[in-house]
Structure 1
Amino acid sequence: MAQKNRYGFVIDVARCIDCRACLVACRVENEVSLPHTRIWVKDQGLRGTFPDLAREFVPYNCMHCEHPPCIEVCTSGATFKDPDNGLVLVDQEACIGCGLCVEACPYDARYLDPTRGVVDKCTGCVHRVERGEEPACVATCLGGARMFGDFNDPTSEVSQALARATQVRQLVTDEVDPDPNIYYLNGDVMQTGLLPRPPRYTTAETLWRGVAIPAVIAGITLSFLGQAVAFTKQLIEGEQEFEE
């Protein structure tokens, strides 16, 4: 079933002043435990040539990718893409804290919370979005750098911002392109420190993907076939007894 909406962020790098209000708002709204954070801001240093110099800051968080590697490796099914809004979420009741998704995320945008033993990350403040409100980071952005909305809606703020923009970037490479739902305007964001890395797959994860999952599927299939054969045999024997 196709998802109804495609929610994500547009960030105007030229308007970010590194005030970190988004980090504080996110921590308070979502009760993020110290020393962790769901949002990071990378200081790109000075950009331009004298005298036209400017300091550049690039905020980032979970990219809520269209093709998220974290979902592929989740052994418990805790990480999923919401079919209504397209946000990548974690069911922390189902999360077993294996950490495989943390290694698989090419943006290092999720972490394992040792106090609770579960994975945590940006949720796009889905609880606020469902009430028709903006994510806390967007609502408190002093410079107006952050925007949030439905890319499938041409009248949304994010769609309008992309339509007006002269420079739009996604943090992708030729090798790694999960189609992230954060778009950047007016910034030199294509830097090594921001671009996605190839997903890291541990030995355990490789075994899970290559051996355990096929084995489980094969086991379920064989079990089903065995039950089907036994049921068919019972039907035949029952018919024979009835005829006698």
Structure 2
Amino acid sequence: MENSRRHFLKSTCALVAGVSVYPLSSNQANAETAVGTNNTKYAMLHDETKCIGCNACVEACREVNHVPEGVTRLSIERLGPFGEYPNQFYHFTRHSCQHCEDAPCVNVCPTGAAFIDKETGIVSVNADRCVGCQYCIAACPYEVRFINPVTKAADKCDFCRETNLKQGKQPACVEACPTKALVFGNLKDPESELVALLKANPTQRSKLDLGTRPKLFRIKAKQGEIIL
């Protein structure tokens, strides 16, 4: 029954999408993606000066969120080596959903499967509404979305919204990091550790010129930070 429903929705969207994707997504945005209506806006900071590229965050995410092999919600990219042997060094940077406040993936979704949770500001996916059209994958400038081979729906990091956060825990990646390179918190809480770190350190965000207003911050690694 579910496969038949998905097939019907996908066929219907294919017929309609060419002329009505943007009007549909605009209505969706107005109805479901209002951000700032409460006191919570979650974000994450990756301190590259502390990251050692151990991938504990990647494996914890996979286990907690039941991410199938062959795909991943996040990855740690190793950059380098830099410098001359034997004083070579590496940098590690996180690649995952940026949880944009103006999310292109949400704007193009014809069914409303991609949405911004108005209670938390988290960009999420309703797998039951996803028809696998892959518009969100094409629209994401950060190239972080994928089709889950088990659910056949679009998937990505959701800050463990359906798992750890529901249990009052931190995202799995944050809990697993042995060097405390990841900090998760509420941008609207001036007393939070996240806000304190953002105020105390120069940070960067990816592709700000696109106007997406991403909520994944990073403290950039310094030269020679990680020597292996």
What interval of TM-score do these two structures reach, taking the shorter chain for normalisation? 0.7 to 0.9
Other-structure match for 2:214: 180
TM score, norm. by length of structure 2: 0.76
Aligned to 1:128: 164
1:20 aligns to what?
55
Q: Percent identity?
A: 34
* Counterpart in the other structure of 1:143: 179
Deviations, residues 177-236 of structure 1 (Å, cap 9, x unaligned): 311101111337xxxxxxxxxxxxxxxxxxxxxxxxxxxxxxxxxxxxxxxxxxxxxxxx
Structure 1 residue 168 corresponds to structure 2 residue 219:
no
Counterpart-to-counterpart distance in 2, 1:90 and 1:83: 13
Structure whose CA Rg is larger: 1
- The runs of 5 or more residues in structure 2 that have no matched partner are 1-33, 223-228
Cα offset, 1:68, TM superposition: 0.3
Q: How many pairs align?
A: 186
C-alpha distance in 2 between matches for 1:22 and 1:184: 16
TM-score w.r.t. structure 1 length?
A: 0.71
> Which residue does the alignment assign to 2:68?
33
SS of the aligned residue for 2:197 comes to: helix
The answer for the alignment partner of 1:98 in structure 2 is 133
Corresponding position: 1:3 with 2:37: yes
Task: Give the deviation of 1:128 after TM superposition.
Answer: 1.9
Alignment of 1:65-80 (within 5 A): 65-80=100-115
Q: Structure 2: which amino acid aligns with 1:67?
A: D
Other structure's SS at 2:189 match: coil
Which runs of at least 4 in structure 1 moved beyond 3 Å after TM superposition?
A: 46-54
| 1:158 aligned partner | 194
Unaligned runs of 5+ in 1: 189-244
Q: CA deviation at 1:49?
A: 7.9
Higher relative contact order (CA 8 A, sep 6+): 2
Give the match's secondary structure for 2:45.
strand
